[in-house]
Amino acid sequence: MPVSKELLDEVALSEEEYQLIVERLGREPNHIELGLFGSLWSEHCGYKHSKPLLKMFPSQGRQVLVGPGEENAGVVDIGDGLCLVMKMESHNHPSAVEPYQGAATGVGGIVRDIFTMGARPIALLNSLRFGPLSQARNRYLFSGVVGGIAGYGNCLGIPDVAGEIFFDESYSENPLVNAMGVGIAHKERLVKARASGPGNLLMLVGADTGRDGLHGASGLASRTFEAGKELRSAVQVGNPFLEKLLLEACLELAQSDWVVALQDLGAAGLASASVESAARGGCGIDLDVLKVPRREQGMTPYEVMLSESQERMLVVVRRGYEEKVKALFQRWDLRSDVIGQVTDDGLARVREGERMVAEVPVGLLTDPPLYRPKARKPAWLRRVQALDLKDMPDLSPQEGNDVLLRLLASPNIASKHWVYRQYDHQVQDNTVVTPGEDAAILRIKGTGKGIALTADGNGRYCYLDPYQGGSIAVAEAARNLVCAGAQPLALTDCLNFGNPEKKDVYYQLKECIRGMARACRALKVPVLSGNVSLYNETRGQAIYPTPVVGMVGLLEDVTKHCTSAFKGEGDLVFLLGGAEIEPEAALAGSEYLELRSGRVCGRPQIDLQLEKRVQRCCLEAIRSGIIRSAHDCSDGGLAVALAESAIAGGLGFWGGRWWGQGQRNDVALFGEGQSRIVVSTSPEDAPRLRALAGAEQVPLQELGRVQGQHFIIEGLIDLPLAQLARAWWGGLEEALKSDH
């Protein structure tokens, strides 16, 4: 077959890759086969650029039952015969094109990844990035994405319990929509996605197949945006009701012995679902596209194989049980059809009736070339890392109130209740701590245990120092869980970057992963699963490198959890942790620096050994009941963390000047140094806290006490608590009202 550049472009393969295919296949591939290669060798399915780097992640641990890449999601043991299934995925590109449906189908995809394994989804989280809300387009994307997550997730009856949202110019054209799903299952009832047993049947269940979403994997997810190109047809439309039926029916099926494997249809549709499950099981498949029920006439085999129509599942059924399986789905008013069978020759065969239209070894399709481009430290990095505070005057006593109020009202720090009150976060009767805290807490029914969940990432830090930023993302996620009283167990991640074929983007990717891996090892949190979203750039401008970490932690006794709210008048407030760092490092990439000078610069840093001690100390203090509140000190720094604890508790704060005369006010109040937790304790328990911190070699600084209805930091800030609360509570809604 003569192959044109346009055709290769359509399937996102390079000429070199085409030559490789010809060489390995021993002949020219036909159009359908080329489509299969294009999809399965896409970055989205094949991880061409990221796979060698992802090997740096530690994924071992006693608690790990299923690690990265083995199945649709990772699995971690939580005892009592139970396990958690978790995964995070991006739907960035579809959401940039059509925010409501893009986000909605992102939720649908991650939920299928969970119940595909026979686990009931018990929680959703999301990590979102947009450009500033001062621009109308960004407001449209923001409200569309939130609406899509709510519209789809609420209909499924899965609580959306935690997440994060950040606004920065770098995401203006490329919003990030990362969705995380967590499910629970009995260990012995987990279902694999490995097609096996020649003669067993392939059944397609759920929605009919249409032309929607063609080239989603190879086009939308694996290339940068080009201006003016109509991509809307590559975005799918979700039907959450159908997904809910599929979910219940598949969980029922998972309890039977009729099923060999379950695999959801996501990116690259039937092509990747059938080929990947065959590859995992080490067998072949033979299917007939004429047996696939369609919602449109005249679809070609190519279109049927690559359609990304939503709400479909591939079920591998033990031969002889197909009628039972059909009846099960029928009860839920779901259609199911036998479309082919498992073979033992390792070939992926696609027929259209009698005619064979594709025949390729499965192993070739799932073995894309791997690229290890040269990473080059960008020349501009040194420039943005430079920060000289000499040319920036320190915060004056007259400015304290105003700056704190502005920070609290900034969309990055303000309460996100406008968002999460649109998500059902209580359904399933497990939510102990609702969104808005450092981490959400769910109880595990039938046990005394609980789990804590969080999603974190900071693109600014990673932009300024990808290695340190990667470490910080992992450390902060773990710290959030610790503040809730949970022992971090495992993480899933979503790596959002620009075009990896560029040397500086590849450098960011490599360094971020290296930094994350280092923190995973230091804090003993293995990586269970993940997703890579590359090519997040428009007109040559890449987003900030943004790895997002979704982490789960375990509470042996869920009643011994902790929240950020101050609990009682007269309690003493301390800062636990904190390294001695340069003022420039403390303000690097901070919200304060951005607010004051409009600059994103400096070089953030973290001491992972200190981090480890701080987390151990905080966890022990919560478990032994020494402290009554704990709040991670992050965006906005110490003053913001104190204000948030005061607002959450409805109690004021008085703080003395705890920093030295020679030190800058702004660094003390708004610096974002790592490994710091604001805790409060009763005066009686304070000596125990001091003793514990001393034994763990963790710095402990008394800041003040919980008192009255004012928020006071001697000499710099004096505001009524109600005014602080108003600024923080209403900030996001105010920003949405801007009329540009």
Partner 1 sequence: MKFGIIVFPGTWSDMDCHHALGIVLGQRVDYIWHKDTDLSGYDCVILPGGFSYGDYLRAGAIARFSPVMASVQRFAQEGKLVLGICNGFQILCEAGLLPGALLPNNHLQYRCQWTYLRVENNALPFTSGVEKGRVLKIPISHYDGNYYADEATLAELEAEGRVVFRYCTPEGEATEEANPNGALHNIAGIVNKGGNVLGMMPHPERACEELLGSTDGNLLFLSIINSM
Closest separation between CB of residue 415 and partner 1, Å?
13
* Cβ distance to partner 1 smaller for residue 156 or 279: 156
Give the number of other Cβ atoms within 10 Å of residue 612's Cβ.
Answer: 19
The yes-or-no answer on residue 91 being catalytic is: yes
Residue 400 · residue 407 · CB < 8 Å: no
Locus of tokens 């480890």? 612
* Cβ distance to partner 1 smaller for residue 32 or 103: 103
Closest separation between CB of residue 158 and partner 1, Å?
8
Closest separation between CB of residue 640 and partner 1, Å?
24
Q: What single letter denotes the amino acid at residue 296?
A: E
Cα separation, 529 vs 493, in Å, equals: 7
- Give SS3 for 446: coil
The torsion angle over the Cα atoms of residues 682, 728, 456 and 488, rounded to 10 degrees, is 20
Closest separation between CB of residue 628 and partner 1, Å?
18
Q: Which of the following is catalytic: 44, 93, 215, 561?
A: 44
- Give SS3 for 599: coil
Closest separation between CB of residue 331 and partner 1, Å?
8
Closest separation between CB of residue 583 and partner 1, Å?
42
Give the number of other Cβ atoms within 10 Å of residue 396's Cβ.
Answer: 11
Q: Which of the following is catalytic: 49, 91, 215, 631?
A: 91
Closest separation between CB of residue 145 and partner 1, Å?
14
* Cβ distance to partner 1 smaller for residue 142 or 507: 142
Strand pairing of 450-456 and 541-542? unpaired
Read out DSSP for 162-228?
EEEEEE-GGGSSS-EEEEEEEEEEEGGG-------STTPEEEEEESPB-STTTTIIIIITTS-B-TT
* Cβ distance to partner 1 smaller for residue 108 or 466: 108
Burial call 706-717: b when 16+ CB within 10 Å, e when fewer: bbeebbbbeebb
The token pair at 462 is 């990673």
Read out DSSP for 497-524?
-S-TTSHHHHHHHHHHHHHHHHHHHHHT
Site for partner 1, rule CB under 8 A: 150-151, 154-157, 239-242, 244-245, 332-333, 420-432, 443, 445, 558-559
Strand partners, 82: 79, 186
* Cβ distance to partner 1 smaller for residue 143 or 385: 143
Q: Which of 241, 253, 248, 247 is CA-nearest to residue 326? A: 253
* Cβ distance to partner 1 smaller for residue 151 or 346: 151
Strand pairing of 312-317 and 537-538? unpaired
* Cβ distance to partner 1 smaller for residue 245 or 512: 245
Closest separation between CB of residue 371 and partner 1, Å?
43
Cα separation, 514 vs 529, in Å, equals: 16
* Cβ distance to partner 1 smaller for residue 426 or 597: 426
Closest separation between CB of residue 111 and partner 1, Å?
13
Cα separation, 309 vs 299, in Å, equals: 13
Sign of CA dihedral 220, 120, 204, 236: negative
Cα separation, 297 vs 693, in Å, equals: 70
The yes-or-no answer on residue 44 being catalytic is: yes
Q: What single letter denotes the amino acid at residue 529?
A: S
Going through 497-590 in order, the beta strands assigned E by DSSP cover 527-533, 537-538, 541-542, 546-555, 572-577
The token pair at 132 is 């500033």
* Cβ distance to partner 1 smaller for residue 69 or 151: 151
Q: Which of 474, 510, 463 is CA-nearest to residue 169? A: 463
Active site residues: 44, 91
